[in-house]
Amino acid sequence: RLLVLTVATGDTDGFRRFLSSAQHFNYTVKVLGRDEAWSGGGYAGAPGGGQKVRLLKAAVEEMENQDAILLFTDSYDAVFSSGPRELLKKFQQAGHQVVFSSEPLIWPDRHLEDKHPHVREGNRFLGSGGFIGYLANIKELVADWTGEDDDSDQLFFTRIYIDAAKRKSINITLDSKCRLFQNLLGSLDEVVLKFEEGKVRARNLVHDTLPVLIHGNGPTKLQINYLGNYIPNVWTFEAGCRVCQEELRPLGALQESDYPLVLVGVFIEQPTPFVSAFFQRLLELQYPKTRLKVLIYNKEAHHEQHVSAFLQKHQSLYAAVDLLRPEDPADARDARNLALDMCRQDQSCDYFFSVDVDVVLKNQSTLRTLIEHNLPIVAPMLTRAGRLWSNFWGALSPDGYYARSEDYVDIVQRRRVGVWNVPYVSKVVLLKGVLLRSELTDFELFDSHILDPDMAFCHNVRNKGIFMYVTNVHTFGHILSTENYQTQHLHNDLWQIFENPLDWQERYIHPNYSRILRDQLIETPCPDVYWFPVFTEEACDHMVEEMEHFGRWSGGANT
C-alpha cells in the first residue's frame, strides 16, 4: 500500500544515495520529473519548489487506489534510516490522514508565525520536505495548486495548514516530535548517531525519538553527508564498511592497453624536501606508464635539477609529458585550472590525478586503488607522521574553514576504516574525466577572491552537489612538513632529521641499522675497531660533499 514519491530531474550523488537507502529497506519508489529540467529554484536562493507540487499533482491525478498511502519526500538530501513497517506503524499512530514533517523555525514567511496552531510539545512549524498520507487526502491537498514552478511549495502547504477549515477537511497534523521525519535545519544539536547492534540510526535527543527519514534541508547538506556515512548501516562497529566493495571498477583482468588513461598533475609550489624521492615513487606507481600523461608545474628554481633529472631518464616511458617552468607566468591557481582543462578537453582522458610534491605515497597501488573505488572524486587519506593533521576535513566551521567532526580522530587513526563523504580533500586527489566534461565545466574551479585554491576548488565542487570522498581502507603514505625547509646548503635534506624523521631515516640510515644489536651485526676488522652499518652510502657521500662544499675549517664553536 505504500508508495514513495520523489522528484529528481538529475541523477546526482545525493539522489543515488537516497535510492540506495530506499533499496536497503525495500521501499517502492516512483521518481517524478526525470524527463524535465529543474526550474524550481535552489535552497540557497529565493523560496522555490513549486515544480515539485506540480509534478505531484499530475502524478496523483492518475492514481486510482484511494487507500494507497503515499510518502512524498525530497531525495537529493535525504536518507531512510528504517523500513516501511516502522514508517506505517508510526503514521497510523499519528491518528491523522496526512502527516507533515516539522521544523523549529518558520520559513519562508515569518509573518505567519502567529497563525500556526500551538503544539503541546515539539516543533510547531510545517516542513514541506516530507509528508505521508492517503491518496484521497493528498489529492485534496494539492488540488488547488496553480502556482509557478519557482513558487514556494512550503508556503503553499503552510497556508493550507494554518487554514483551520482546510486543515480539518484534509485531516493534517505535524510530526512535531520527529517520530517519522527529522529535518536538520535548526535541530543540529538535537541529532546524534545511535549505534545499535549491527545498526545505525539518527536519534533526536530532545524528544528521544528515532526518525525514519532524515532530511538535510536548507544549508545542512554537510550534516546529512556526515550522517549518510553511517545511515542506513553504511558503516557499523560490527561489520565496518558495508558499501566499500560495492560498484567497484576492477582493473586486474584488463590488458595494459585497456587501462584508463590518466593525466597526472604534479605541483611544486614551494621548496620541499626529498623531491628526488618523490619522483622515484611516482616512477614506481604500479600502473602502465603508456596510459599515463604527466603535467609538471614547478614554480621553484631550486627544484629544476630534480625535475630535469627525472625527465631526462624517464620522460620517454610516459604517453606524454608537459612542463611548466618557474619562468612561465602561470601561478598555482592557473596551473591547476590548466591541468583540469587539459583532461577536460581531451576526450580520451578518463581520470585526472593531482599530486602535490610534499605527498609521500608509500603504497605503490594507490592510483589503481583509487580508480577501483569508482567514485567521482576520491583522495587517499594521508597524515603528517605522528600528528592528527591530514589531507581532509571532516566538517566545516560556519565561515567555511576547518572544523573537527566527531569521527575525525577515529578515521585519521584508522579505528574506523571505510570510504567517507567529506567536505574537503587536498594534496592528492583523483577526479573522473567525465565529471570535468559534464558537471565541472567551469574553467576557474580553483579561483576565489577570499579562499586558497584548494578551498576554492572544494567549495565549487560542493556547490555543484558533487560528493568528495576520502578512503582509509588501505594505508597510503604521509605528508611532509615543509615549514622550516632551508635551501642554502648543498644537500638540504640532511637537515630534515627533526622535521621529517621518517623520510630522513629512509634516505640516510642503513637498512640493517636495527640489526646491529639484535643480530650482533658487528665486525671487528682489528683490535679495538668496531665496524657496523649506520648510514647509507648516499648519506656518507652527502656528508662528505657537504663538508667539502663548506670550503673552510670550523671556527671551533658548537654551531
pLDDT tens-digit map of 342-395: 999 999 999 999 999 999 999 999 999 999 999 999 999 999 998 999 999 999
pLDDT of residue 521: 81
Report pLDDT digits (tens) over 66-122.
889 999 999 999 999 999 999 999 999 999 999 999 999 999 999 999 999 999 999
Quote the crossing angle between the two packed helices 135-142 and 50-61, to the nearest 10°. Answer: 130
Report pLDDT digits (tens) over 236-247.
999 999 999 999
Examine domains 2-241 and 256-479 and report if their fold is the same.
Answer: yes
Residues 6 or more apart in contact with residue 340 via CB below 8 angstroms: 352, 431, 436, 440, 443, 445, 446
For residue 296, list its beta bridge partners: 266, 323
pTM metric for this prediction = 0.94
pLDDT of residue 514: 85
Residues 6 or more apart in contact with residue 526 via CB below 8 angstroms: none
pLDDT of 279 above 60 = yes
Contact status, residue 128 vs residue 82, Cβ threshold 8 Å? no
Report pLDDT digits (tens) over 184-199.
999 999 999 999 888 9
The residues spanned by each domain of the chain are 2-241, 256-479, 492-550
CA pair distance 352, 339, nearest whole angstrom? 8
CA pair distance 530, 119, nearest whole angstrom? 86
N- to C-terminal Cα separation, the chain: 83
Mean pLDDT over residues 293-305, rounded? 97
Q: Which three cell numbers stand for residue 481?
A: 612538513
Q: Which three cell numbers stand for residue 77?
A: 538530501
CA pair distance 427, 60, nearest whole angstrom? 50
One DSSP character per residue, 270-307 reads S--S-HHHHHHHHHH-SS-GGGEEEEEEE--GGGHHHH
CA pair distance 112, 135, nearest whole angstrom? 28
Written as one letter, the residue type at 490 is L
Mean pLDDT over residues 142-159, rounded? 97
pLDDT of residue 516: 84
Does the domain at 2-241 match CATH 3.90.550.10? Answer given as: yes
CA pair distance 117, 460, nearest whole angstrom? 41
Strand, helix or coil for residue 266: strand
555 pLDDT band, cuts 50/70/90, is confident
pLDDT of residue 66: 83
CA pair distance 340, 352, nearest whole angstrom? 7
pLDDT of 44 above 80 = no
CA pair distance 535, 429, nearest whole angstrom? 35
pLDDT of residue 47: 83
pLDDT of residue 197: 87
CA pair distance 246, 388, nearest whole angstrom? 29
Q: Which helix (H) or strand (E) holds 263?
A: strand 262-268
Residues shown for the chain: 559
CATH architecture of 256-479: Alpha-Beta Complex (3.90)
Please name which of 322, 420, 439, 441 lies closest in space to residue 373, comparing C-alpha atoms: 420
